[in-house]
């Protein structure tokens, strides 16, 4: 299918980018992922559970191809087994279902017309879980999505009009549908969301999404503009990937290209973006703009820089179900430099520095990569990255106090380090080896705790948050708990646990591919993963070194075969 992944159905996919660009109808890691139900352990009452970390794939098959008439077809079918957790409570063992027998299906068609200038397509995804109601607590019984899309090009393919329309429906008992309505992607329970209401009797949820864009990619001046929406009821995460709902986004991207060499440049491009977002009540939530310049030199080096500025930022999910809160607007600069990609050794660096204009938020990121090609058949790439995120209004928890919900936030200093290692080795044209590995660590430390005031949309930080001072807050080191005495009467009004964290993760994949006959391949895959939690007071690299290859590592071995019927 012309090197395209026919199952890649993005809800937006624009040149302007945006957080909504990651939303897809099919996300392959849902198949064989972690079970939805977690039992957990409680040593205080002698309660332990042995739970599977991933669903077992009983079988999977994929068929894809394209006919001479321009019809592309893709079908994927997979079944995962019923997963059980073994529970030991005071020496007595029992079992509970954590994931029922599940069927996953994806079907995709696209038809080319007008010499490929017009493409019309559709997609259908389905998840069906086979179990009694008692085994489906917290899990959808079915999840179905359908989509129609089109692309039309004209003017020597310079002009492009794209659009899609998607509908989703999930079903289950009333409890799981209520949980879906209150999940992070939806948050129907928000007290200021007058256009939303939690329906505690509903046993299904149906939502829609759509995108329409028009672009011109011909000539020196090019542009793209469009709009995309996600209704509050849209739900894709059983087999897809969805970050937010209840939003309407407008975006525009334009660029000026200098495509002929001049001076020291092979070519130059400047581009700008604007974004604006509303919820379904019509409230404007976000406005921002961005400008970038890219310089391609005659010696095949390249560099670029850019600036992003925000005008408005109101978050409807920062308080995890609380009211929408104004976040401080700010800006940031980015810069990158990359050497000649034709050389045996290629390297690059990149960085971003930004924050809010009032100093409430500060963000720094720095990264680099080195790619070495010792022989034509082998390449090695190492890409370390460091990020530091500091903000004074990071959500911590919410508590009940005197019949009202108190939202606790704090000043967080989060540092994250990761390194990605990739190796590709073509032993022969028919036999290749690929390796991917990534150690990752993120540590967050909190202080200067505060609570939300009655004015979450206030102009200043002091309007929105009250910082606990002096005897209002104390720390119990033995219990690792903060104690709050709001009325200063010497009695604790409420408390919350220490939110500091130090999370370590290692992921790796080793893939051997053998093309045993032209167009038909056999894959051998070894995946390894390990997660660990460490003392938040330890340094990043000491904690990473001690936990990189932990005893709790999981190993997964896969065999995949493809066969091409027609050539």
Query: pLDDT tens-digit profile of 416-432?
Result: 999 999 999 999 999 99
Q: Which of 443, 467, 499 is the last residue of a domain?
A: 499
What pLDDT sits at residue 3? 40
Please provide the average confidence, as pLDDT, over all residues in the chain: 92
Decide if 11 contacts 226 (C-beta within 8 A). no
Q: Are residues 495 and 567 in the same domain?
A: no
Residue 22 backbone dihedrals phi, psi, to 5 degrees? -85, -5
Q: Are residues 412 and 377 in the same domain?
A: yes
The answer to the question of residue 547 being in a domain is yes
Q: Distance between CA atoms of 333 and 354, rounded to whole angstroms? A: 6
What pLDDT sits at residue 45? 64
Decide if 366 contacts 343 (C-beta within 8 A). no
Q: Are residues 437 and 539 in the same domain?
A: yes
Q: Distance between CA atoms of 265 and 188, rounded to whole angstroms? A: 53
What pLDDT sits at residue 52? 87
Task: Between 16 and 268, name the one with better pLDDT.
Answer: 268
Rounded to two decimals, the pTM is 0.89
Percent of the chain with pLDDT over 90: 77
What pLDDT sits at residue 551? 62
Q: Are residues 444 and 490 in the same domain?
A: no
Q: Which of 447, 465, 499 is the last residue of a domain?
A: 499
Q: CB neighbours of 473 closer than 8 A, spacing ≥ 6?
A: 449, 482, 483, 484, 485
Q: CB neighbours of 371 closer than 8 A, spacing ≥ 6?
A: 345, 346, 347, 379, 380, 381
Write out the residue range of the structural domain in which residue 489 sits.
475-499
Q: Distance between CA atoms of 76 and 407, rounded to whole angstroms? A: 45
What pLDDT sits at residue 137? 77
The answer to the question of residue 537 being in a domain is yes
As given in the structure block, the two tokens for residue 557 are 């071995």
What pLDDT sits at residue 218? 93
The answer to the question of residue 444 being in a domain is yes
Q: Kindly report which listed range (50-54, 73-77, 98-102, 451-455) carries the lowest average pLDDT score.
A: 50-54
The answer to the question of residue 14 being in a domain is no
What pLDDT sits at residue 363? 97
**How many domains is the chain partitioned into structurally?**
2
Q: How confident is the model at residue 22 (pLDDT cuts 50, 70, 90)?
A: confident
Q: Are residues 401 and 493 in the same domain?
A: no
Q: Distance between CA atoms of 184 and 192, rounded to whole angstroms? A: 16
List the helix and strand counts (H, then E) for the chain: 3, 29
Q: How far is CA 269 from CA 291, 320, 357, 403, 444, in A?
A: 11, 41, 29, 58, 38
Q: Is the pLDDT of residue 23 over 80?
A: yes
Nearest to 184 by CA among 267, 244, 115: 244
Q: CB neighbours of 243 closer than 8 A, spacing ≥ 6?
A: 19, 20, 22, 23, 185
Cβ neighbours around 525 below 10 Å, total: 15
What pLDDT sits at residue 495? 97
pLDDT digits (tens, 9 = 90+) for 292-330: 999 999 999 999 999 999 999 999 999 999 999 999 999
Q: Distance between CA atoms of 205 and 143, rounded to whole angstroms? A: 10
Q: Are residues 371 and 443 in the same domain?
A: yes
Cβ neighbours around 68 below 10 Å, total: 5
Q: Kindly report which listed range (132-136, 211-215, 226-230) carries the lowest average pLDDT score.
A: 132-136
Q: Are residues 481 and 522 in the same domain?
A: no
Decide if 435 contacts 422 (C-beta within 8 A). yes
What pLDDT sits at residue 2? 36
Q: Are residues 435 and 365 in the same domain?
A: yes
Nearest to 181 by CA among 234, 221, 144: 234
The answer to the question of residue 298 being in a domain is no
Q: Are residues 436 and 543 in the same domain?
A: yes
Q: How confident is the model at residue 6 (pLDDT cuts 50, 70, 90)?
A: confident
Q: Distance between CA atoms of 444 and 503, rounded to whole angstroms? A: 9
If phi > 0 it is left, if psi is from -120 to 50 it is alpha, else beta; for residue 141 that is: alpha
Nearest to 304 by CA among 336, 332, 269: 336
pLDDT digits (tens, 9 = 90+) for 183-202: 999 999 999 999 999 999 99
Q: Distance between CA atoms of 251 and 227, rounded to whole angstroms? A: 6
Radius of gyration of the chain (CA): 26
Q: Are residues 396 and 425 in the same domain?
A: yes
Q: What is the mean pLDDT of residues 141-161?
A: 96
Q: Are residues 347 and 484 in the same domain?
A: no
Q: CB neighbours of 565 closer than 8 A, spacing ≥ 6?
A: none
Q: CB neighbours of 416 closer than 8 A, spacing ≥ 6?
A: 385, 386, 387, 388, 389, 440, 441, 442, 443
In degrees, rounded to 5, the angle at the alpha carbon of residue 31 between the alpha carbons of residues 184 and 162 is: 70
User: H or E stretch including 249?
Assistant: strand 247-258
Q: CB neighbours of 5 closer than 8 A, spacing ≥ 6?
A: none
The answer to the question of residue 29 being in a domain is no
Q: How confident is the model at residue 43 (pLDDT cuts 50, 70, 90)?
A: low
Q: Are residues 401 and 543 in the same domain?
A: yes
The answer to the question of residue 108 being in a domain is no
The answer to the question of residue 492 being in a domain is yes
Q: Is the pLDDT of residue 532 over 90?
A: no
Q: Distance between CA atoms of 2 and 110, rounded to whole angstroms? A: 12
Q: How confident is the model at residue 1 (pLDDT cuts 50, 70, 90)?
A: very low
If phi > 0 it is left, if psi is from -120 to 50 it is alpha, else beta; for residue 219 that is: left
């Amino acid at each position: 299918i012309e090197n395209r992944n026919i199952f890649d159905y993005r809800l937006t996919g624009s040149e302007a980018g945006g957080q909504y660009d990651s939303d897809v109808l099919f996300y392959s890691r849902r198949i064989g992922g972690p079970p939805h139900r977690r039992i957990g352990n409680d040593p205080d009452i002698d309660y332990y559970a042995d739970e599977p970390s991933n669903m077992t794939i009983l079988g999977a098959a994929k068929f894809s191809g394209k006919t001479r008439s321009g019809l592309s077809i893709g079908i994927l079918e997979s079944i995962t087994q019923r997963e059980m957790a073994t529970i030991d409570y005071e020496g007595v063992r029992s079992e509970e279902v954590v994931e029922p027998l599940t069927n996953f299906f994806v079907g995709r068609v696209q038809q080319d017309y007008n010499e490929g200038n017009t493409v019309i397509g559709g997609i259908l995804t389905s998840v069906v879980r086979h179990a009694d109601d008692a085994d489906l607590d917290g899990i959808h019984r079915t999840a179905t999505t359908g989509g129609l899309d089109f692309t039309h090009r004209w003017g020597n393919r310079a002009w492009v009009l794209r659009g899609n329309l998607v509908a989703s429906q999930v079903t289950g008992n009333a409890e799981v549908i209520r949980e879906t309505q209150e999940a992070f992607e939806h948050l129907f329970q928000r007290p200021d969301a007058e256009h939303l209401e939690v329906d505690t009797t509903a046993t299904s949820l149906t939502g829609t999404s759509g995108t329409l864009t028009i672009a011109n990619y011909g000539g020196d001046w090019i542009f793209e503009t469009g709009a995309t929406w996600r209704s509050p009821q849209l739900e894709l995460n059983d087999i897809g990937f969805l970050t937010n709902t209840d939003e309407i986004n407008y975006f525009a991207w334009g660029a000026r290209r200098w495509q002929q060499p001049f001076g020291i440049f092979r070519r130059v491009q400047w581009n700008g973006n604007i974004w604006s977002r509303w919820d379904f009540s019509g409230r404007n939530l976000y406005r921002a703009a961005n400008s970038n310049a890219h310089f391609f030199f005659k010696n095949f080096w390249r560099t670029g820089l850019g600036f992003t500025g925000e005008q408005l930022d109101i978050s409807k999910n920062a308080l995890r179900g609380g009211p929408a809160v104004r976040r401080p607007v700010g800006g940031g600069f980015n810069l990158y430099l990359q050497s000649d990609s034709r050389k045996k050794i290629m390297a690059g660096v990149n960085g971003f520095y930004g924050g809010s204009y009032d100093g409430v938020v500060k963000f720094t990121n720095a990264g680099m990569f080195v790619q070495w090609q010792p022989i034509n058949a082998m390449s090695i790439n190492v890409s370390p990255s460091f990020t530091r995120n500091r903000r004074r209004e990071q959500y911590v928890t919410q508590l009940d106090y005197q019949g009202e919900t108190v939202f606790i936030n704090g000043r967080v200093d989060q540092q994250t380090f990761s390194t990605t290692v990739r190796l590709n080795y073509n032993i022969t044209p028919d036999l290749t080896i690929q390796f991917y590995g990534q150690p990752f660590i993120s540590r967050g430390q909190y202080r200067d705790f505060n609570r939300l005031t009655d004015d979450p949309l206030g102009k200043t930080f002091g309007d929105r948050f009250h910082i606990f001072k002096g005897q209002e807050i104390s720390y119990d080191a033995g219990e690792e708990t903060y104690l709050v005495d709001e009325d200063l009467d010497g009695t604790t009004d409420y408390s919350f646990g220490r939110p500091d964290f130090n999370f370590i993760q290692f992921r790796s994949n080793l893939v051997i591919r053998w093309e045993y006959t032209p167009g038909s391949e056999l894959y051998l895959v070894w995946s390894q993963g390990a997660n660990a939690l460490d003392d938040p007071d330890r340094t990043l690299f000491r904690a990473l070194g001690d936990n990189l290859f932990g005893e709790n590592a999981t190993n997964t071995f896969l065999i995949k075969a493809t066969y091409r019927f027609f050539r």
